[in-house]
Amino acid sequence: MGTPENAANYTAKKYRTPDGAPCDIVIFTIATVEAQIHKKSLPRRELQVLLIQRKAWPDEGKWALPGGFSMPTESLYESARRELQEETSVESPYLEYFNVYSTPNRDPRGWIISHAYFALVQESILANRRAADDAADVKLFSVDEALNTLHLAFDHHEILRDARARVQHKMLTTTIAREFLPEEFTIVELYQVIQTVCPDFEDPNFKRKVTATKTRQGLIEEARDDQGVKKTTNRNSQRHAQLYRFTDYEPIVSIYQ
Amino acid sequence: MGTPENAANYTAKKYRTPDGAPCDIVIFTIATVEAQIHKKSLPRRELQVLLIQRKAWPDEGKWALPGGFSMPTESLYESARRELQEETSVESPYLEYFNVYSTPNRDPRGWIISHAYFALVQESILANRRAADDAADVKLFSVDEALNTLHLAFDHHEILRDARARVQHKMLTTTIAREFLPEEFTIVELYQVIQTVCPDFEDPNFKRKVTATKTRQGLIEEARDDQGVKKTTNRNSQRHAQLYRFTDYEPIVSIYQ
DNA sequence: GCAATAGTGTCTCTAAGACACTATCGT
DNA sequence: ACGATAGTGTCTTAGAGACACTATTGC
């Protein structure tokens, strides 16, 4: 083996190369599952995931994560964003890479390394979704239902499980809760989003801590109108509740201090 | 387009496929840079990264992260582990996937999507390292030096920067400090590891909080010998200091509670 | 007035943060 | 005795956690 001086001497494709580098996208939303009937109260909400029923080999008929093969002219993020827009037509998505899936023979079509992203989307944006041409059907499932009762295509069960774990972790350590909330929200709505994603989360003093505690000051702030008057809403109750908004501040948490 | 019933109908390779899916590994260690001369005291330590000088096109002569092309018979983790062992001969590494790099034309050899791992290795293990056959030289660099003064091959500057950010974040939110420490360590040694990776970390009451605070109880415990007597060391000072060990407990931190 | 949700008063216990102090031990 | 690092005493202020209480308003 010599030391080639330039590209002309480089002999590519000496080895087998991958048969594709697709993206799979775990599109999460928090959906209202029980509308309030007559009484004013917080509706029940649950974490859902968008799945597509495959209409071609392999795993025809099974539910799968949306996705598709990436192209050499785009980065994987751009590819994922393109796929996401095809499904949801969301313009400025929360879209984050979280893992790669490369177990040999995970896809019968060949050596296919899949890149998994998750997206957080407001329920309202998924209202006008449409089926892509490679899918017989598109549907939102409760994540619990998808993991416990469906037989997903490929290794998508593992991908969905990993995605949920990642979102649960980020829900407690970052401010991604904002992706599931309107600009201005009440404390109870925030609390519900956290609990919907992290069922074990419980904190009787939540309101005090999130608003009054010095170390957390700056995380959220009271919403005010043009005159500086605090804004409230009574959409969830008879009594008006203070509206809050997230600030730009992203706290860093440490196990040591 | 019909609905093919099985693999025989599947026509693969309709599109261009990637030219390779390599792994790049950011191998971190914390190295002693000033041995104590005469006096007993903590040596200065710094975060270092292992780099390889390329001896072939492209970017011949530049320093690069160790890595190599993965094979269809192995997962990317196995591939990364194989590469890591070739460089360091470490048997049970801390090795974690953290990102993918797929910008078009990031590699002049073609459509090459690189998978970045970071490894945390004890300084002692890197003592008997050897050059792999595709590298002219192997060397440890201070991470600051590598980022500020070297011109790394490909997009390895970006990869190294991302890896450092990830390790800094995990240093504060997980117990990866253990990877840079002996089984049993003093509080000051732990404090130094955290500060070496995260220069902004400062906490005058560190010892109190990490040992006495209820919410952190279970993170570390006092090292004891067979008779249950507390173990101490005077390797860093004249006075003996208590030795501690990490437990299996991994705390979860939240910005809300 | 009732129901339903929003929000407060108040008490106890624990932690944070600061700073000066004591302890140990090789040289 | 000195120097260097390990570790403690103690005080003030803030937050956690619990629980019962008051407030608002549509019906």
Q: What is the pLDDT of residue B133?
A: 47
pLDDT higher than threshold 60 for residue A43: yes
CATH code assigned to B176-246:
1.10.10
pLDDT higher than threshold 60 for residue B9: no
Say whether the peptide bond before residue A4 is cis (omega within 30 degrees of 0): no
Name, in order, each residue with C-beta under 8 angstroms of A243's C-beta and a sequence gap of 6 or more: A184, A185, A186, A222, A223, A230, A231, A232, A233
Q: What is the pLDDT of residue B151?
A: 96
Round to a whole number and report the distance in Å from the CA of B172 to the C1' of C8: 36
Average pLDDT for A39-59: 86
Round to a whole number and report the distance in Å from the CA of A110 to the C1' of D15: 57
Characterize A93-108 residue by residue with b for buried, 16 or more Cβ atoms within 10 angstroms of its Cβ, and e for exposed. Answer: bebbbbbbbbeeeebe
State how far the Cα of B18 lies from the Cα of A170, in Å rounded to an integer. 32
Average pLDDT, chain B: 87
Q: Residue A34, Cα to own-chain centre: how many angstroms?
A: 22
Give the tens place of pLDDT for each residue, A170-223.
999 999 999 999 999 999 999 999 999 999 998 888 988 888 766 666 789 889
Contact A216, A253 (CB under 8 A): no
Task: Look at A67-71, A125-129, B162-166, B170-174 and tell me which has the smallest mean pLDDT.
Answer: A125-129
State how far the Cα of A85 lies from the Cα of A92, in Å rounded to an integer. 9
pLDDT higher than threshold 60 for residue B134: no
| Chain A interface test: which of B102, B192, B193 (most A C-beta within 10 Å) | B102
Residue B146 β-bridge partners: none
Average pLDDT for B20-36: 89
Q: What is the pLDDT of residue B211?
A: 83
CA proximity to B182, closest of B226, B246, B232: B246
Give the tens place of pLDDT for each residue, A13-32.
578 999 999 999 999 999 98
What class does CATH assign to A22-173? alpha beta
HSE-CB at B120 with a 13 A cutoff on CA atoms is 21
Task: Look at A37-41, A191-195, B20-24 and tell me which has the smallest mean pLDDT.
Answer: A37-41
Residues of chain B with CATH 1.10.10: 176-246
Task: Look at A98-102, A180-184, B37-41 and tell me which has the smallest mean pLDDT.
Answer: B37-41
State how far the Cα of A123 lies from the Cα of A82, in Å rounded to an integer. 19
Average pLDDT for A116-124: 95
H and E: helices and strands count for chain B? 5, 11
Dmax (CA) of chain B: 81
pLDDT higher than threshold 50 for residue A81: yes
Residues of chain B with CATH 3.90.79.10: 22-173
- Among B18, B21, B172, select the one facing A252 at the smallest CB separation: B172
**H or E segment to which residue B193 belongs:** helix B187-197
Q: What is the pLDDT of residue A92?
A: 85
Round to a whole number and report the distance in Å from the CA of A94 to the C1' of D4: 53
State how far the Cα of A225 lies from the Cα of A240, in Å rounded to an integer. 16
Q: pLDDT band for position B214 (50/70/90)?
A: low
Give the tens place of pLDDT for each residue, B217-235.
678 988 998 888 899 998 8
Say which amino acid occupies A236.
Answer: N
Contact B35, B50 (CB under 8 A): no
Considering only CA atoms, name the residue closest to the C1' of nucleotide D25.
Answer: A238
Whether A18 sits inside 8 A of B15 (CB atoms) is no
